[in-house]
Structure 1
């Protein structure tokens, strides 16, 4: 499967073509635009590849959606672009995909940034979201305001509703979600799980946690360090799971510092 992608060239292209190449992977219900502000900042010295994962955005749809399949999609794209080694930044589900790439083919992943997710199996965190989305009658909706009103019966958070409604598009006379909702619902068990428990990635890794989020907990630290022994943790205070949007400046600064520091070490 060839995923939909967008390339942003580095602003200052190295004469010897030594610029970093970084893949950016969004989370569940998202699209490649979710990390676009970070992409723009990273263009200061790196080539960026923004990606729609399967069943999201403009990428192909599939009834199957396991992490081994989604990891294979990333490497198929890298091969298509003739990119042998690259770094990866992933948020939430995208963070799990990114970790899976690093653990499956560590020789191809230079650096890794994981935003607010741990390498663990999760309990159900999205049942109300799926209920609201599946019960939404998109054929009868005339505007996003009506959709927001209906979703509010199931999803209390205005921020989460706003995020979901970014993927509600109008085509001809009717609205539709650009993500493949039924496939996401049917594969949610796979999305919550973690199939790479015994692998190790030794290269530089950054885990960024939202201070108010419960996706990375103290009891996850041991597992993180077992699988990513060269990991460093950062916490962004007063922000939740959508840390890259809620505190974009802080999030982007931490990511930039990580890559610049590692580039300085490599240079010496």
Structure 2
């Protein structure tokens, strides 16, 4: 008997399948509000990506390998194809899968990330995470205080604290594979390993105050995703699904309603 891919997930609802993928340092429940808003008409799968949440840890977790793990998970679950929606890192993994295996992707939603290589931008986050490990914290309050020495945004600290778990010895550690993420950080920032353009329907959702999707990315987006549309959420940063959940959920829901309501046409 072949072992199933060690990706943990939750699912809810009935209808056409939609797979949700979270961002760096996150877990499947980060997109819980979106999942709940879609579950009345779609079968929604919320994944913990490899090295995150309760999924298994993976060595050399480049985008290609993470997308491959999601593809294998789809096979294990009997999903021939599905719509994909991903935020940040999850959006990159979703784009990678759509470009490599377009027959498995009915539609694609990419939240505040572009198919380009990014410079390092998480040095302070890594320093805060390492400091929590070194501090052998015995309470979330202690961990929060340590991170506040490195991070000035309380929302980011609260987001990271969601992945803190208490060990049998009473010391808190990160649920995600911190050392693995640090080792693979350059590979996770890379642009997709392109096979050919994805011809299916694609929606990019940008936070109006975020610098993750820029005008100079437009040509690359349309080269890889010629049917791409763009929605901009005003007065919103990179964490658009948490900052304005009702608006974000409505944008994604309307796109999926339009693209998945009719007869399925597999992208070529």
Which TM-score band (shorter chain)?
A: over 0.9
How big is each residue's C-alpha offset from its partner over 1:109-168, in whole Å with a ceiling of 9 and x where there is no partner? 100000000000000110111111112236631221211111111111111111001101
Match of 1:257 in 2: 254
1:212 aligns with 2:209: yes
Deviates more, 1:180-189 or 1:167-176: 167-176
How many residues in Structure 1 have an aligned counterpart in Structure 2? 259
1:92 aligns with 2:70: no
1:175 aligns with 2:175: no
1:7 aligns with 2:11: yes
Deviation at 1:174, TM superposition (A): 1.5
Answer yes or no: is the 8 Å Cα contact 2:164–2:173 preserved in 1.
Answer: yes
Aligned counterparts of 2:204 and 2:181: Cα–Cα separation in 1: 25
Aligned counterparts of 1:238 and 1:163: Cα–Cα separation in 2: 20
Answer yes or no: is the 8 Å Cα contact 1:139–1:175 preserved in 2.
Answer: no
Deviates more, 1:140-149 or 1:87-96: 140-149
Match of 1:113 among 89, 92, 109: 109
The normalised TM-score by structure 2 is 0.93
Query: Which ranges in structure 1 are unaligned for 5 or more consecutive residues?
Result: 11-18
1:129 aligns with 2:129: no
Match of 1:224 among 210, 221, 224: 221
1:61 aligns with 2:57: yes
How big is each residue's C-alpha offset from its partner over 1:82-125, in whole Å with a ceiling of 9 and x where there is no partner? 11011100000000000011000111110000000000000011
Match of 2:232 among 225, 229, 235: 235
Aligned counterparts of 1:159 and 1:263: Cα–Cα separation in 2: 34
Match of 1:47 among 43, 47, 54: 43
Residues 69, 218 of structure 1: alpha-carbon distance in 2 compared, 3 angstrom cutoff = same
Q: What aligned pairs does 1:70-85 form with structure 2 within 5 A after superposition? A: 70-85=66-81
Aligned counterparts of 1:230 and 1:132: Cα–Cα separation in 2: 40
Answer yes or no: is the 8 Å Cα contact 2:106–2:200 preserved in 1.
Answer: yes
1:103 aligns with 2:99: yes
Give the root-mean-square deviation of aligned CA atoms.
1.4
Match of 1:154 in 2: 150
The normalised TM-score by structure 1 is 0.93
Aligned counterparts of 2:37 and 2:251: Cα–Cα separation in 1: 12
Answer yes or no: is the 8 Å Cα contact 2:99–2:195 preserved in 1.
Answer: no
Deviation at 1:22, TM superposition (A): 0.6
Answer yes or no: is the 8 Å Cα contact 2:53–2:175 preserved in 1.
Answer: yes
How big is each residue's C-alpha offset from its partner over 1:180-216, in whole Å with a ceiling of 9 and x where there is no partner? 1010011100011113246201111000000111000
Deviates more, 1:84-93 or 1:144-153: 144-153
Is the partner of 1:137 in helix, strand or coil?
A: helix
Answer yes or no: is the 8 Å Cα contact 1:138–1:175 preserved in 2.
Answer: no
Is the partner of 1:164 in helix, strand or coil?
A: helix
Match of 1:36 among 32, 35, 44: 32
Is the partner of 2:10 in helix, strand or coil?
A: strand
